[in-house]
Amino acid sequence: MFEAQEVNAEHKDLIHDVAYDFYGERMATCSSDQYVKVWDQGSDGKWSLTSSWKAHSGSVWKVTWAHPEFGQVLATCSFDRTAAVWEELVGETPGPGERGTRHWVRRTNLVDSRTSVTDVKFGPRTQGLQLATCSADGVIRIYEAPDVMNLSQWTLQHEIQCKLSCSCLTWNPSLSKNHPLMLAVGSDDNNLTAGGKVFIYEYSDNIRRWIKTDTLSSVTDPVHDIAFSPNLGRSFHLLAIATKDVRIISLAPIPDNANTQSGLNKLDIQTAAQFDDHGCMVWRVCWNITGTILASSGDDGCVRMFKMNYINAWKPVAVLKGDGSHITNEGHRSSVSSAASLPTPPMAAVVSQTARYIKLGTISQSREAPWH
């Protein structure tokens, strides 16, 4: 784990987002000081600042990495009403054992939005190089790079109108051919009469456009973050939502119940779990690479982790403070799904206990990694 104090010291203002690359060896941060910074992890496990540049003329809200098969590529979005795509260029190596000079170049500036661009995400790599943005004016825009070798050319493929201001979005990463492309969008609109604040969109190959298939009417509070779980062969999707609490939503396609015009199956939407352990506003949710553990952070200054056990009941498993210390078992205020109310075998009592994370050591060289 990198030292949070070092990152805070490098930025001169509030940090809005942190993103790791595909391998977890590089990290990008963005903040209100209009800067984006890139950090690399050395063989000793320590993080060092390798690049820093002024990316926008307003607060930078989000930063995200493209899949490494497209190179070292970042996308950012800002209060200045733009989104940008950046590519890292590496110069000649100055000498044996030394790293070449690196710098980031703005490849394109997406200026279609008339208001603050609140989120930006690269699409699944199986669809080529696609980029989705959402903005405070309630518009979702999907861009595509026709030639992945020329990142200065991006085409606006779709423009989707929402009724509410958009705060965050997420692509469904499922690789199954049975699942159409899917986007979930969250809103932080304060309009109390607007109904649900999470919208599900799917892409129809029949009519070649995005269709809003569902609105999660159960989520009526402002949504700050949203994330689909990685799907390793599941027949259903899991969606995590950060609002005044943490929610995990299950979306299961109903077979043989398709819209004849769009060819899209309807979804059976259920609340798989709901946790108010933070006791305050939740700002970020993030899945592990297998989609089995969800981490969340909130105004209580803690990172909380939740895991599904073998009877499909979600339970809190760990609480970490901002300094990395562990919080002992405390009175949880969790309310979980109906699956958790099923009779629990004795072994499940062990699973539901709060786990403890203990640092056992540091692996300085990759060849020293123990085999399992």
Pick 111 or 346 by higher pLDDT: 111
What is the predicted pLDDT for the residue at 8? Answer: 56
Q: How far is CA 159 from CA 38, 121, 148, 334, in A?
A: 31, 15, 21, 39
What is the predicted pLDDT for the residue at 96? Answer: 55
What is the predicted pLDDT for the residue at 93? Answer: 53
What is the predicted pLDDT for the residue at 368? Answer: 38
Percentage above 90 pLDDT, the chain = 63
Cβ–Cβ < 8 Å for 318, 357: yes
Q: In what order do the strands lie in the sheet with 35-41?
A: 15-20, 26-31, 35-41, 47-54
What is the predicted pLDDT for the residue at 235? Answer: 85
What is the predicted pLDDT for the residue at 95? Answer: 52
| pLDDT surpassing 70 at residue 202 | yes
| pLDDT surpassing 80 at residue 147 | yes
Residue 369: how many other CB atoms lie within 10 Å = 8
| pLDDT surpassing 50 at residue 365 | no
Cβ–Cβ < 8 Å for 5, 15: no
What is the predicted pLDDT for the residue at 231? Answer: 86
Mean of pLDDT over the chain: 84
Q: Which domains does the chain carry?
A: 162-372 (2.130.10.10)
| pLDDT surpassing 80 at residue 92 | no
Please give the angle made by the CA atoms of 34, 321 and 121, to the nearest 5 degrees: 40
| pLDDT surpassing 80 at residue 323 | no
3-state secondary structure of 20: strand
| pLDDT surpassing 80 at residue 252 | yes
Percentage above 70 pLDDT, the chain = 81
Q: What is the pLDDT of residues 257-314, one digit of tens each?
A: 767 667 788 899 999 999 999 999 999 999 998 899 999 999 999 999 999 888 888 9
| pLDDT surpassing 50 at residue 90 | yes
Confidence of residue 209 (pLDDT cuts 50, 70, 90): very high
Distance CA 353, CA 27 (A): 32
What is the predicted pLDDT for the residue at 260? Answer: 62
Average pLDDT over residues 74-98: 84
Q: What is the pLDDT of residues 24-53, one digit of tens each?
A: 899 999 999 999 999 999 989 899 999 999
Distance CA 291, CA 159 (A): 30
Cβ–Cβ < 8 Å for 215, 254: no
Confidence of residue 321 (pLDDT cuts 50, 70, 90): confident
Pick 165 or 349 by higher pLDDT: 165
Q: What is the pLDDT of residues 52-81, one digit of tens each?
A: 999 999 999 999 999 999 999 999 999 999
pTM recorded for the entire structure: 0.83
Distance CA 194, CA 209 (A): 25
The structure tokens listed for 3 are: 């030292």
Confidence of residue 164 (pLDDT cuts 50, 70, 90): very high
Within 8 A by CB and 6+ apart from 243, the residues are: 197, 219, 221, 222, 223, 224, 282
Average pLDDT over residues 340-346: 36
Confidence of residue 328 (pLDDT cuts 50, 70, 90): low
